[in-house]
Structure 1
Amino acid sequence: MSKNLILVSCVVSLALAIGTPASAAKPLKVFILVGQSNMQGHAAVRTFKHLEMDPESRLLLQSMVDDEGNPKAVENVWITSIGNDGTEKEQHGQLIAGFGAAGREPKIGPELTFGIKMQEALHEPILLIKTAWGGKSLNTDFRSPSAGPYEFNENQLQNFEKQGKDVDAEKATKQEAVGRYYRLMLAHVRHVLQDIKRVCPDYDPDAGYELAGFVWFQGWNDMVDRGTYPERGNPGGYDQYSDALAHFIRDVRNELDAPKMPFVIGVMGAGGPVEKYGPSQRRYAAIHSGFRNAMAAPADLPEFRGNVMVVLTEESWDDQLGELSQRWGQVNAKRRQLQQDESLTPDERKQALDEFTAELYTPEELTILEVGKSNAEYHYLGSGKIMANIGKAFAEAFSP
């Protein structure tokens, strides 16, 4: 045998022994999920039954529960989460229903179906790092360094003086709050990345990790802040939000040394598409529309095109459940009316209300409302069906 043939045989044998680059372990895919109460998630697990009632959602439900209908763990997907109870207390483990906001019953946010769908798309180990606190704004709480200090506008300063408040004290208090949750978010991400094996037992340090994406799902506290956004409801009324979000994206990428990390903006959509708003919703349609446009605006900046994506969560809204919930306002009004009628006994009031409700809803509609809703409209009705579809949409935004 020639020396060249012997050399080739040795190289082939060595390649078979150690594996080719194509068979080498891939980096752990890390996704960061950040926001306020809707990223926490207020969809009660008991509302999963609503997905079973809808043929289009039934297949998604099968990936969330086992054959007995109990939540099942997602293979090769781990999660670490802080903020679910309003503190920095960590919850971590294999992804399963229950990583939503703390409360009297287990809940989910978008993390569950996001993890499920990313795993289906990638077929690789995944780690989700979730940091979400309810009632937090971008203009103050998540404000990033390059956005600069928070500046009170003239209307706010005049109101402080009218109320007899110490303006300097108000400014000092505000500056203490500025960026606090931005820093807490980054601190947790870094804490996790320094020792990934602590939360992801199968992590291979030799393969390393990749910051594969960031999801931002926030907005309510900015949308309702008439002090910071005095022109809300008018064109350009939320331009400050767009500017702050662009700074946030730049700063997060810079801090994590991930200049092209894909970024998804989950645009507020509680209530569904504005053009479908009913009579009781139309009074704030301009505010909702203006804010949603402002949230989406950074994706159109030239520097972000192609790696900042927009997901309109209004498209995951359940029109039927939303309408049934809106209709319940008539039941509440009737209840108040009956309570003021002193000629009726408690039993008579109950009977009258039951009869009114039966005229307003079919038995099937009442079942859908009872099964599908667990929270208020601004929390997407606490609907597992809505939240599951939002998480799915976030994942699809990252998929090739």
Structure 2
Amino acid sequence: MRSGSFRLRCRAPFGNNGHSRRSYPRAEARTVRTLLVLSLLLTSLSPLTAADPPKPVKVFVLAGQSNMEGKAKIALVDYQAQQPATRDLFKHWQKDGQWIERDDVWIKFLERKGKLTVGYGSPKCIGPELEFGAVVGDRLTEPVLLIKTAWGGRSLYRDFRSPSAGLPPDAALDKMLADLRKQKGKENATLADVKKPFGDSYRAMLDEVGDTLANLKKHFPAYGDQGYEIAGLVWFQGWNDMISADATAEYAANLTHFIRDVRKDLKAPKLPFVVGQMGVEGSKPSANIKKFKDAQAAVMDVPEFRGNVALVKTDAFWDTDAEAIFKKGWRENADEWNKVGSDYPYHYLGSAKTMCKIGRAFGDAVLELRGEKK
């Protein structure tokens, strides 16, 4: 017998007619029986083999002000989902004419939570979250959770100001105090009253993220205690800073502080970070908007942000059709307007097409930073 193998030795396979029966040497027969038993055991046990454990949830934070909230009204989305020119944007969100929910993508937007579907923008609206969730949900094999922390009318200069930015210069604070005291009922305001709002929204953002992650099973019963990873943050904000010369002048520095502090406080040193550059007025913005866009883009020159921060130019998704009707007179042309827009220019005209395209661009950008290939 050759080393490491065995050979079956046999005689003629007949019965008692003068020929011998097939026979095996005892040791080889025992080996055959052992192999057969092992094979049967493995076959019988295979259905009982434990399934792969669920993978950690990929968590994406969507932060900012009103345009991250999203102002495209569902009435417009309902209409465009049925139109030949626009229905392809929404067909993956509908079945038999009804909006579907995604089992693999959850969302929490302050007091609202559930499976991702339409309606997680401002009340009765959609925002970038809809198509962002579709992109990351389709690409990733893990469950996805979107945590939206967005409030209208907030600035990075004051409300989202992060700890390492400190406070503005004393001269700026003194001017704020003087302006505050001019308001009725605020004549006795103090410097402490001026300082108090700084960083409020930053802290609220961290509180919302922390509370959600600490209570995942409570918020999402399908969560299987498999853990999570904070996989990216998208920042879509700017209007309140753009309309202030002081805030615009500080924006690049404040955003640099913000990115560093978010990564520190979320304990994610290389957290993929996407900045949605203001796109209001499209490719021909006013001087103020252009100056502000340059301030936003300046963070891309910070050496430590190379390869882990991305800038999405949302002006590429400006809805010129909606803009044309708005300028012609949206009230006087309501029938035309209600087919393309649903809000003011500073809210991207409430364009559903724009919100969807921005959301997809955000999703592609954060996945590219993570090295996830299409």
Q: Quote the Cα distance in structure 2 between the aligned partners of 1:141 and 1:261.
A: 22
Deviations 1:225-264 (A, max 9, x none): 24x34xxxxxxxx341111111111111111111111111
> What is aligned with 1:344?
none
* Alignment pair present for 1:146 and 2:147: no
Among 216, 230, 236, the alignment partner of 1:196 is 216
- Structure 2 vs 1, CA of residues 54 and 299 (structure 1 numbering), >3 Å: closer, same or farther? farther
Q: Secondary structure at the match of 2:201?
A: helix
- Residues 64 and 113 in structure 1, CA contact (< 8 A), matched pair in contact too: no
* Alignment pair present for 1:91 and 2:143: no
Q: Quote the Cα distance in structure 1 between the aligned partners of 2:250 and 2:335.
A: 43
Q: Which runs of 5+ in 1 are unaligned?
A: 83-89, 230-237, 278-284, 333-356, 358-365
Q: Quote the Cα distance in structure 1 between the aligned partners of 2:303 and 2:243.
A: 29
Q: Quote the Cα distance in structure 2 between the aligned partners of 1:248 and 1:37.
A: 19
- Residues 321 and 340 in structure 2, CA contact (< 8 A), matched pair in contact too: no
- Residues 138 and 219 in structure 1, CA contact (< 8 A), matched pair in contact too: yes
Equivalent residues in 2 for 1:366-381, closer than 5 Å:
367-381=335-349
Q: Which runs of 5+ in 2 are unaligned?
A: 1-29
Percent of aligned pairs sharing the same letter: 40
Letter in 2 for 1:269: G
C-alpha deviation, 1:150, in angstroms: 2.7
Q: Quote the Cα distance in structure 2 between the aligned partners of 1:172 and 1:152.
A: 12
Among 59, 79, 100, the alignment partner of 2:121 is 100
CA RMSD of aligned residues (A): 3.1
Q: Quote the Cα distance in structure 1 between the aligned partners of 2:180 and 2:50.
A: 74
> What is aligned with 1:272?
282
The structure that has the greater radius of gyration is 2
- Residues 115 and 128 in structure 1, CA contact (< 8 A), matched pair in contact too: yes
Q: Quote the Cα distance in structure 2 between the aligned partners of 1:119 and 1:162.
A: 46
Q: Quote the Cα distance in structure 1 between the aligned partners of 2:142 and 2:91.
A: 20
Letter in 2 for 1:113: E
> What is aligned with 2:228?
209
Deviations 1:18-68 (A, max 9, x none): 569xx443211111111111111111011112355464x432211233331
* Alignment pair present for 1:257 and 2:267: yes
* Alignment pair present for 1:61 and 2:80: no
Q: Quote the Cα distance in structure 1 between the aligned partners of 2:272 and 2:309.
A: 6
Aligned length: 329
Deviations 1:325-359 (A, max 9, x none): 11227x87xxxxxxxxxxxxxxxxxxxxxxxx7xx
* Alignment pair present for 1:122 and 2:140: yes
> What is aligned with 2:203?
183
C-alpha deviation, 1:159, in angstroms: 9.5
Q: Quote the Cα distance in structure 2 between the aligned partners of 1:186 and 1:309.
A: 22
- Residues 215 and 264 in structure 1, CA contact (< 8 A), matched pair in contact too: yes
Letter in 1 for 2:160: F
> What is aligned with 2:109?
81
Q: Quote the Cα distance in structure 1 between the aligned partners of 2:109 and 2:181.
A: 40
- Residues 150 and 175 in structure 1, CA contact (< 8 A), matched pair in contact too: no
* Alignment pair present for 1:392 and 2:357: no
> What is aligned with 1:304?
305
- Residues 43 and 374 in structure 1, CA contact (< 8 A), matched pair in contact too: yes
Equivalent residues in 2 for 1:293-372, closer than 5 Å:
293-328=294-329, 367-372=335-340
Q: Quote the Cα distance in structure 2 between the aligned partners of 1:300 and 1:45.
A: 39
Higher helix proportion (structure 1 or 2): 1
Q: Quote the Cα distance in structure 1 between the aligned partners of 2:158 and 2:170.
A: 11
Q: Quote the Cα distance in structure 1 between the aligned partners of 2:366 and 2:155.
A: 25
Q: Quote the Cα distance in structure 2 between the aligned partners of 1:31 and 1:168.
A: 43
Q: Quote the Cα distance in structure 2 between the aligned partners of 1:267 and 1:15.
A: 53
Q: Secondary structure at the match of 2:178?
A: helix
- Structure 2 vs 1, CA of residues 324 and 190 (structure 1 numbering), >3 Å: closer, same or farther? same
Letter in 1 for 2:192: A
Q: Quote the Cα distance in structure 1 between the aligned partners of 2:198 and 2:219.
A: 30
